[in-house]
Chains A and B, each alone.
Chain A
């Protein structure tokens, strides 16, 4: 019998209480007078019965509770919707932001043992990370003993000609790159060592994306011939989906061919070098050896390798400080949102519990089992959490792609981010826990002590007081977090405005840009290219609406690097950063300065008459002229640059070549014709810029037709406006600010709701007291002050905490504030004003309700 009673415990206690005695009796009756064997059979049968029916009964109860919870919640839709929205917001915010941040900041790169991968740079005064030259790379490779493998690659742009010519970003890689990364091709093979030798047949490995897009995912693609102008290549491999290297844009890989000319000049800096550390070798040991190797190379080549050392950095460590900080700020903000969501949920549930306390106490007093009521509350909380969680996943799914702009394009990872399941579970768990803590735990206390206490008014008021303090604390926390978010968003906004107000040095309005990459064979001679530029510029200029057009090696903020050392009698390279003499090198056609609105300070523009046979000339930027000829007589001076002595014929305004927030080198512009055939291919003009008098994009089709008419084999890509290009420079900031501002707005709204809820409750609790005061002659203003004082105290406390935290946070991310001070007064004043407004908005309804209390009814 004892056993049977024990067995009954598997049933829900409400069921047990109702039918347990009956079932025991039933069991006893059947057992009476039975033989031992029969008794044992009966016991076994009872166990079987319980195993079968208990889960079913639990399920019945759950269904019933869910129905009941859904009914109760639908009776208070305001509460239900708010609670679900708050939960969803908290879960959605942190999940989407963390999913992005995880990819950029935490997760190892998607390569085998990616912690062992390093990038090796040359280091020279002023240039902590300089692309190594093939000669130095060859020597490092021969001498080093710390790396298991070392390989090089360089970016190439290839024109793939199928039906239409198309320009593709690619990389020329040495044969050891893929084995080094530890990634196997999905189809075919990767390069054999013989294939990166000069004269080998052209082979190419393509990305999964290109394979699907251009070859329809054909599994027999291996062996296909494809024309990558000017040569034919054979596809030998397809890399797996999700493989991006060295960056997200790279679509195909060819074998790097070093020719004797590659090794002609030790200053021919253009390689990216990656290596894998030998097992057990630390980064510092590798740095030590590379320093020793480069020091000995300096002894051998004192001129070319003067002060040249090596920088060794983990491959995963190349995300810029700005990208990191932008994301960290957002991560912090999303944690704030989650906490606000939890405090809000807590305060909502607490209010609800106080409102239902009487109902629950009455039901308990009437004999409803504690388990039954707790079970119902539990179901209700879990139902809210589940609905909130589902809505949260929806928000995160929607929001994550919008945040993808925060993933730097230089990272070898996909920008399409998948939701992070761990964070999702963590956030859902946290909100559920909050729900349980504030939705169910208070109910449990009803049974502690005298059951009927809740029925007594005095007791209720006392308990109400304690809860009120707790809720007051929650409101303070909400205001604190809102201010923190508000000030952070404000600071970032000011920083953006400051960055946007930086003069790029050129006019962005009404400029159309596009890239026309000219295939090597036909256009390796300078004359052929110059003729092409002339014809395009001539044709385009004839279009109605075109003011001027010109070609340049690379538009500002598109081509950011491309620098060259300046040589002049008397210039020394002492090795200190202040003694760096470089300028960004650009070849241009006449009219470039006019097209971009770069002011001509003195002298003249480059001209069509500046040919290879005439005097080598250059136009320099003002900072260049001022640095070397401070007295202002730069025109007519000569300096050696890009292999030749060049005479300065003009001085123009400076341009932010590297972007609004970065320091750019002075600029030197050289006429496009003044370069020997086949030299400096990297600097060949390929970006066409067109100044228009109306909407620039509307001219794009006509421009395309003109270029097609001149040479249909030249691919046209990156058609966009100069405004887009400059806008892209602040895109990550803008995305971040939008999210921050949204977070701040939502948290303010929640804070207002919190204040409103708390005050409404106190006013309803103090109805009688207020009524008495008014009956005794208190004026409405006095009552109003009394109510507002409460919200003012909470808002002031939250505001003060929030501003202190915000100042600390601002100092932590000062590096991305573009010179805005973390204690920026206007931002803090506005934030303070917003808090006052929020408090007023939250208080207004309950305060008016208090004033309108009619003493006669309140006292009845």
Chain B
């Protein structure tokens, strides 16, 4: 699948939920509930997506081509036959990278302005 930088940039900045889901899928394919749990774990329980938000995001991300439902299951023992698994696409990967870069730049600028306390 080929895509241009413009197509990537068109999606930035990402809604927070979308970025969280991309991060959650970076380690490997997951089903919906696993995504919620993963995000909650990473953020120390601070971000807990509701079912509606999660699936609305998933629907949109599928349409945008950021993620895809996958037939390729992670590991046989973890697999639950009846669940839908989602995987990051190459495009999703590129968009996540771009968003991360954008945020890093932003934080750099914030640091330069003294908004972020230097770590002691």
Question: Per-residue CB proximity of A46-71 to B under 8 Å, as 1/0?
Answer: 10111011101100100010000000
Question: Per-residue CB proximity of B35-74 to A under 8 Å, as 1/0?
Answer: 0100000000000001111011011100100000000000
Closest A residue to B84 using CB positions: A22
Q: Return 9 A-B CB contacts under 8 Å, by A number.
A: A11-B52, A19-B55, A19-B58, A23-B52, A26-B32, A26-B33, A49-B50, A52-B50, A52-B53
CA of A18 to CA of B58, assembled, Å: 11
Is B119 an interface position by the 8 A CB rule?
no
CA of A11 to CA of B33, assembled, Å: 19
Is A29 within 8 A of B33, CB to CB? yes
Is B60 within 8 A of A22, CB to CB? no
Is A532 an interface position by the 8 A CB rule?
no
* A22-B31, A26-B32, A26-B33 known; A60 vs B59 contact (CB < 8 Å): yes
Question: Per-residue CB proximity of A1-41 to B under 8 Å, as 1/0?
Answer: 00000000001000100110011011101000000000000
Interchain CB contact (< 8 A) of A23 among B55, B63, B83: B55
CA of A56 to CA of B17, assembled, Å: 14
Instruction: Give the interface SS of chain A, mostly helix, strand, loop or mixed.
Output: helix
Is A45 an interface position by the 8 A CB rule?
yes
* A22-B31, A22-B84 known; A52 vs B52 contact (CB < 8 Å): yes
Indicate the size class of the contact surface on chain A: 20 to 34
Q: Which residues of B are found within 8 Å of A25, using beta-carbon distances?
A: 33, 83
A67 to chain B, nearest CB (A): 10
Is A22 within 8 A of B50, CB to CB? no
- Interchain pairs with CB closer than 8 A, number: 52
* A18-B59, A22-B84 known; A53 vs B31 contact (CB < 8 Å): no
* A26-B32, A26-B33, A60-B59 known; A54 vs B83 contact (CB < 8 Å): no
Q: Which residues of B are found within 8 Å of A11, using beta-carbon distances?
A: 52
Is B56 within 8 A of A50, CB to CB? no
Q: List 9 additional A-B contacts (Cβ < 8 Å) besides A19-B55, A53-B53.
A: A18-B55, A19-B58, A23-B32, A25-B83, A26-B36, A27-B51, A45-B50, A46-B51, A57-B59
Is A49 within 8 A of B55, CB to CB? no
Is A26 within 8 A of B52, CB to CB? no
Q: Which residues of A are found within 8 Å of B58, using beta-carbon distances?
A: 19
CA of A54 to CA of B52, assembled, Å: 7
CA of A13 to CA of B92, assembled, Å: 27
* A45-B50, A60-B60, A64-B63 known; A15 vs B33 contact (CB < 8 Å): no
* A49-B52, A53-B50 known; A19 vs B59 contact (CB < 8 Å): yes
CA of A22 to CA of B84, assembled, Å: 8
Q: Which residues of A are found within 8 Å of B51, using beta-carbon distances?
A: 23, 26-27, 46, 49
Closest B residue to A54 using CB positions: B52
CA of A15 to CA of B33, assembled, Å: 17
B101-116 contacts to A (CB < 8 Å)? none
Q: Which residues of B are found within 8 Å of A46, using beta-carbon distances?
A: 50-51
* A29-B33, A60-B60, A64-B63 known; A22 vs B53 contact (CB < 8 Å): no
CA of A757 to CA of B63, assembled, Å: 37
Closest A residue to B62 using CB positions: A18
CA of A18 to CA of B55, assembled, Å: 9
Q: Top 6 closest A-B pairs, CB basis?
A: A53-B52, A49-B50, A19-B55, A49-B52, A23-B51, A26-B33
Q: Which residues of A are found within 8 Å of B52, using beta-carbon distances?
A: 11, 23, 49-50, 52-54, 57
